[in-house]
């Protein structure tokens, strides 16, 4: 019965490969001989702009699927994603300065404002896309702090720093005594890992937040996490 129920989805998935648009992408890629880094950079940023424009909330779409995606049950743009939008923000500010175009600065501000609007009451940032029921995620929270700090530095608006500090306090509340984060990782990520070294990027965000907010506990938490990670780094990759 389960196979029969999945048959329509499988049919939809495989038939989505029969697309003139998809074929055109392969043809254009094969004939593209440009190796200009500036052109490639602009194309990448313009793609991010299209991802932001795919929905009207100000966030950036999680991804784009050229074929039908059975998990998200759609083809095309997947709804806005708080985590990745957060660390796209500094990139958009950087490009705005490089290109000397206000458009990209304004887009970064829209992303930061959206992040403020969707921040959970406890200070966390949710896991998954915005259409999922919000559940807190440690890593995602750290990544959005990068965006809020940069928005604060670019505009001087306290709102962004306040959101970042609220998120930082959430991280401190859920950090284990040895510096690791083992709880509220995300319901969309495995909780069966033997170590949690990827959250050093969360610690990095706290270190930057400590400097921006003049808050020593954030720095201490970042150092504790880095110290807890060091024993694991020596054992990776496995032999």
Q: Can you tell me the mean pLDDT for 93-100? A: 96
Q: Is the pLDDT of residue 193 over 80?
A: no
State how far Cα 87 lies from the chain centre. 6
Q: Which pLDDT score, from 0 to 100, does residue 40 have?
A: 87
More confident residue, 172 or 132: 172
Q: Which pLDDT score, from 0 to 100, does residue 1 have?
A: 37
Q: What is the pLDDT of residues 11-32, one digit of tens each?
A: 555 455 556 565 555 555 555 5
Q: What is the pLDDT of residues 97-108, one digit of tens each?
A: 999 999 999 999
- CATH number given to 81-233: 1.50.10.10
Q: Can you tell me the mean pLDDT for 187-197? A: 67
Q: Can you tell me the mean pLDDT for 181-201? A: 75
Q: What is the pLDDT of residues 107-129, one digit of tens each?
A: 999 999 999 999 999 999 999 99
The sign one gets for the Cα dihedral 69, 13, 49, 79 is negative
Q: Is the pLDDT of residue 234 over 70?
A: no
Where do the domains of the chain lie? 81-233
């Amino acid at each position: 019965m389960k196979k029969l129920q999945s048959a329509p989805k499988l049919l939809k998935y495989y038939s989505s490969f029969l697309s003139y648009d998809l074929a055109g992408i392969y043809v254009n890629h094969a004939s593209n001989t440009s190796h200009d880094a500036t052109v490639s950079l602009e194309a990448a940023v313009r793609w991010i702009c299209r991802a932001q424009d795919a929905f009207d909330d100000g966030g950036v779409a999680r991804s784009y699927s050229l074929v039908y995606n059975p998990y998200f049950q759609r083809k095309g743009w997947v709804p806005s994603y708080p985590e990745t939008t957060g660390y796209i923000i500094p990139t958009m500010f950087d490009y705005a300065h490089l290109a000397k175009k206000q458009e990209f600065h304004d887009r970064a501000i829209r992303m930061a404002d959206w992040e403020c609007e969707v921040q959970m009451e406890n200070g966390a940032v949710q896991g998954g896309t915005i259409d999922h029921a919000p559940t807190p995620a440690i890593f995602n929270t750290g990544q959005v702090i990068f965006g809020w700090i940069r928005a604060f530095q670019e505009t001087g608006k306290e709102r962004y720093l306040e959101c970042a500090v609220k998120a930082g306090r959430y991280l401190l509340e859920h950090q284990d005594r040895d510096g690791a984060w083992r709880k509220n990782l995300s319901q969309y990520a495995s909780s069966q890992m033997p170590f949690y070294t990827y959250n050093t990027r969360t610690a990095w965000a706290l270190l930057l937040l400590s400097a921006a907010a003049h808050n020593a506990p954030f720095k201490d938490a970042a150092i504790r996490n880095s110290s807890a990670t060091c024993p694991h780094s020596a054992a990776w990759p496995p032999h």
